[in-house]
Amino acid sequence: MNKLSSYIGINVIGAILLVLLLIVGLDVVSAIIDQLGDIRGDYTFWKSLVYVGLTVPGRINEYIPLSALVGCLVAMGMLSSSSEITVMRASGVSLSRLVWMAVKPTLWLIVLSMLISEYVSPFTDQWAKSHKDFSISGTDRSLVAGGGLWHREGDTFMHFNVVQPGGVLYGVTTFEFNPQGDLLSSSFAKRASYQRNGWLMEGVQRSVFYSDTINSSEFTTLKWETQLSPKMLGYLSLAAEDLSPSGLFDYANYLDQQELDSGAYRLAFWQKCLHPLMIISLVLVALSFVFGPLRSSTMGYRVFIGVVVGIAFQFTQNLLGPSSLIYGFSPFYAVLVPIIICAGVGSTLLYRTR
């Protein structure tokens, strides 16, 4: 039985990895072409290749669920087409055991996905974005059009051209308002770095606005008071879907403390946390098709159905997720409902096949 389990596991994991390689490869080629439109200044073609290369771990994690679905359809479908599944069943191997043998190798993918999501892709994505922004935006320009990051802390609005890991900022612009919305002061610093006792701006130009005059001054260095830490800035520099689960949780709590909307980060947090259940539910659907409606279908038709199911699942999640932010219901249910439906359909079809 161990040999049979290993045989099925090798076929399943091999097919999943092959599908993952093809999908990620196509996505990387598309990303390289897309980056050609951003090439300007110091951002050369070779730097765009580095940028895309650093985003590969995140792309792998994104496509693991679809690859698990299509890969299981391909691997188990090939075994079914060659009558190997029939021989296994005739030898006394139950359907539930066959399902477990096919699901078991995907557990390694789930572990891989969780490790990438928490420890790899957030850091590689941050390095990719910071180096791209540094090449495009530079350090001596304020409010680069179409680039940089905005943030609000109380009545102060901030813009950063480049956020680098380790607590280094370039092109820092701040606007301070009073509660009535009047501009009190503005400043621009070429660089800001995090010291042990806080932030230190370098090359600062500061303007203070009075009712009838403006007082402008320049400083070589100036201390900057803010609640932002290098860790929080790392979260700010990435889109919600690119952050780690722990980062999403921390940053959502920070936004709540600042009385800012954290809905998108709560939604992304539950998508990350329920990612393993998503993979298992899609694998159950794939196995139910192989043992049920698609057991006599061609390989091309199985792959087509797998892609359609994967797209439909993603479309449902993309529809329910933003709906939870608009209509105010919990993003947890917006993520969980498609998973429950998918797992329910797969389990029902498998039960009817017994």
* pLDDT (tens digit per residue) in 210-254: 888 899 999 999 999 888 888 888 888 888 999 999 999 999 998
Q: Assign 144 to helix, strand or coil.
A: coil
Most confident region among 18-32, 144-158, 284-298, 312-326 by mean pLDDT: 18-32
SS3 content of the chain, % helix, strand, coil (to 5): 65, 20, 20
Q: Assign 267 to helix, strand or coil.
A: helix
Per-chain mean pLDDT for the chain: 88
For the whole model, what pTM was predicted?
0.87
What is the Cα 351 distance to its own chain's centre?
Answer: 34
Question: What's the CA gap between 67 and 320, in Å, rounded?
Answer: 22
Residue 153: is its pLDDT beyond 60? yes
Q: Which of 134-138, 143-147, 318-322 comes out lowest in average pLDDT? A: 143-147
Q: Give the percent of the chain with pLDDT over 70.
A: 95
The pLDDT of residue 144 is 57
The pLDDT of residue 296 is 67
The pLDDT of residue 138 is 60
In the numeric block, the tokens 């093809």 are attached to 22
Residue 145: is its pLDDT beyond 60? no
Domain ranges (residues) in the chain: 2-136+263-353, 155-226
pLDDT tier at 11 (50, 70, 90 boundaries)? Answer: very high
Residue 292: is its pLDDT beyond 80? no
The pLDDT of residue 349 is 83
Residue 268: is its pLDDT beyond 60? yes
pLDDT tier at 273 (50, 70, 90 boundaries)? Answer: very high
